[in-house]
A and B are shown apart, each in its own frame.
Chain A
Amino acid sequence: GAVVSQHPSRVICKSGTSVKIECRSLDFQATTMFWYRQFPKKSLMLMATSNEGSKATYEQGVEKDKFLINHASLTLSTLTVTSAHPEDSSFYICSARDSELAVQETQYFGPGTRLLVL
């Protein structure tokens, strides 16, 4: 299957700092990537849909100025958590959709980034 990587896998930062998380599709092009957040023992919650070359679409309740998304190329999307607070501590997971596939396609998930804000 297709491979999606995330970097870093784990990050600890101080409250008030910003953290950037990268999501890369390694062997396919992805015009669309998705960013999810998962709290312990909870399911995945979609934060935003990242579209290459255009603005991201944020889900209701997600602050676009706090969670900055950039999708500058067909293989890279970044999520920046600005002015991080302890309540932002979570497991952040990206997924990517293969642009080459036709109608019935699947999303491939990255390994996730665990963020801890002190």
Chain B
Amino acid sequence: QKEVEQNSGPLSVPEGAIASLNCTYSDRGSQSFFWYRQYSGKSPELIMSIYSNGDKEDGRFTAQLNKASQYVSLLIRDSQPSDSATYLCAVQKAAGNKLTFGGGTRVLVKP
């Protein structure tokens, strides 16, 4: 079992719709969770971080964390073609510790 798992996609969504991405992790001791967006040929950029159970909203993005079920999700509302990218879920066991990345989910937003 991989430490951090994501559906590779591609996840195809029409412009204006909601894109829903899921991520599961295996280590119950994980404390910090991150979503990164990576455009082709570029390095990852941080979208959201979440540390406690529940929802966290930032603009069109909402991260959801459920530690009991060991999953974290990302919702992208009003999806735009510019949101087309690979979204990486990353998990951290403790502050200062290394990040473990999932394989990424490729999202395609069609006009």
Hey, which bits of chain A sit against chain B, CB under 8 A? 1, 32, 34, 42-46, 49, 93, 95, 97, 102-112
Contact A1 B42 (CB under 8 A): no
Contact B96 A32 (CB under 8 A): yes
Contact A93 B96 (CB under 8 A): no
Contact B101 A104 (CB under 8 A): no
Contact residues in A for B45 (Cβ distance below 8 Å):
109
A108 to B45, CA, bound (A): 8
- 26 A-B Cβ contacts within 8 A? A34-B98, A34-B99, A42-B103, A43-B101, A43-B102, A43-B104, A44-B88, A44-B101, A93-B43, A93-B44, A95-B99, A97-B96, A104-B32, A104-B49, A104-B51, A106-B34, A106-B46, A106-B49, A107-B46, A107-B99, A109-B43, A109-B46, A110-B43, A111-B42, A111-B43, A112-B43
Hey, which bits of chain B sit against chain A, CB under 8 A? 32, 34, 36, 42-46, 49, 51, 88, 95-96, 98-104
A65 to B99, CA, bound (A): 23
- Not counting A106-B46, A108-B46, a sample of 18 additional A-B residue pairs whose C-beta atoms are within 8 angstroms of each other reads A1-B46, A34-B98, A43-B103, A44-B44, A46-B98, A46-B100, A97-B96, A102-B95, A104-B51, A105-B95, A105-B96, A106-B34, A109-B36, A109-B43, A109-B44, A109-B45, A110-B43, A112-B42
